[in-house]
Structure 1
Amino acid sequence: MISQGQILPSAELTELTSEGMQTHTTADLFTGKKVVLFAVPGAFTPTCSNAHLPEFVALADKITAKGVDAIYCVSVNDAFVMQAWGKAHNAEHLRMLADGDASFTKALGLDKETAGFGGVRSKRYAMIVDDQTVTGLFVEQDKEFIVSRAEAILAQL
């Protein structure tokens, strides 16, 4: 599993924007920026939709006021689902990134097998990344939602 002080692995994430489908490398997304990245097991799932994403939407201004250039949400879903989920939650100040094949999640070592729920998914986590280097990593234990909450990350900035 990736740890604090390490550089993010090279990977690609997709995003559906008004300009169409975009493919971004981790270098494109994180070079020269301070980013809060949070990951969820699945878009439109209960804790993710009722708490995790909405809290980041609500606190986006406070987070960026702490010197954060961008907030990214990533899930092992496709870009169409991520865009629809972001629209449903008014997440226009966040970037909704898809890791459709879980390659980024697996490269981080933050994948988990959920079998009938959806197969390979991401663990729930948040991280602070400064110019591609992980400066804070907050991974939830199974069935918990404490350390990756927006309030918890805001307190770490």
Structure 2
Amino acid sequence: MKSGMKLPSVTFHTRVRDESVGGPNPFRWEDKTTEDYFAGKRVILFSLPGAFTPTCSTYQLPGFEKGYGEFQDLGIDEIYCMSVNDSFVMNKWAEAQELKNVKVIPDGSGEFTRRMGMLVRKDNLGFGLRSWRYAAVINDGMIEAWFEEPGLSDNHPEDPYGVSSPETVKTYLTETSKEAAA
């Protein structure tokens, strides 16, 4: 569906650890752009409804984290997890998940998600505006492959999961690496 599309140019407001700040919360604001994350690299981006939610915390994020080495072997430079959550929430979730490999991107205002056509209402769960679940292989800022869960809609009664799983993305990467080798 979105394969071949260029990612929208957006600025993300992030908090990064900086020991020179001192105190109990040694972080500073740092704006990063779409280009900072995606230019000149082949990456996996996956987006989900919310940090600390069950499917995201139990299956999707841990699967990408554990499979990081295999994804690198298949030509991936980085793996990014995005959610319509602010940087404070995303950083705390990364800490709670003990992430070493997957990097989080806070889309606090939902601007990137909206421009990707993936912003949905989840008022039925008390979430407000959030991302529909998807994954993508991004090559130098262009979508190489797109994995979107079925049923994209506001206030969907379920949270489908499978199409955007680490296993599905790994299958795609394995098949394309075999084709490239042939």
TM-score for both structures, normalised by structure 1:
0.94
Q: Does 1:70 align with 2:78?
A: yes
Give the partner amino acid of 2:99. A
Q: Secondary structure at the match of 1:93?
A: coil
In structure 1, how many angstroms separate the alpha carbons of the residues matched to 2:70 and 2:13?
26
Structure index of larger Rg? 2
My pick for the range that moved more, 53-62 or 140-149, is 140-149
What residue number does 1:7 align with? 6
What residue number does 2:165 align with? 149
Cα deviation, residue 15, structure 1? 3.0
- Written as runs of structure 1 = structure 2, the 5 A alignment for 1:87-102 is 87-102=95-110
Q: Does the CA-based 8 Å contact 1:36-1:126 persist in structure 2?
A: yes
Give the partner amino acid of 1:17. V
How many residue pairs get aligned? The number is 156
In structure 2, how many angstroms separate the alpha carbons of the residues matched to 1:110 and 1:54?
22
In structure 2, how many angstroms separate the alpha carbons of the residues matched to 1:23 and 1:8?
17
In structure 1, how many angstroms separate the alpha carbons of the residues matched to 2:71 and 2:30?
25
Equivalent of residue 56 in structure 2, options 44, 48, 54: 48
Flag the 1:92–1:14 CA change in 2: closer, same or farther, 3 A: farther
What residue number does 1:37 align with? 45
In structure 1, how many angstroms separate the alpha carbons of the residues matched to 2:12 and 2:136?
16
The percentage of aligned residue pairs carrying the same residue is 37
Q: Secondary structure at the match of 2:67?
A: helix
Q: Does 1:124 align with 2:133?
A: yes
Gaps of 5+ in 1: none
Cα deviation, residue 92, structure 1? 2.0
Equivalent of residue 112 in structure 1, options 99, 104, 120: 120
Q: Does 1:26 align with 2:34?
A: yes
TM-score for both structures, normalised by structure 2:
0.82
In structure 2, how many angstroms separate the alpha carbons of the residues matched to 1:80 and 1:146?
28
Q: Which has the higher contact order (CA 8 A, sep 6+)?
A: 1
Cα deviation, residue 144, structure 1? 1.5
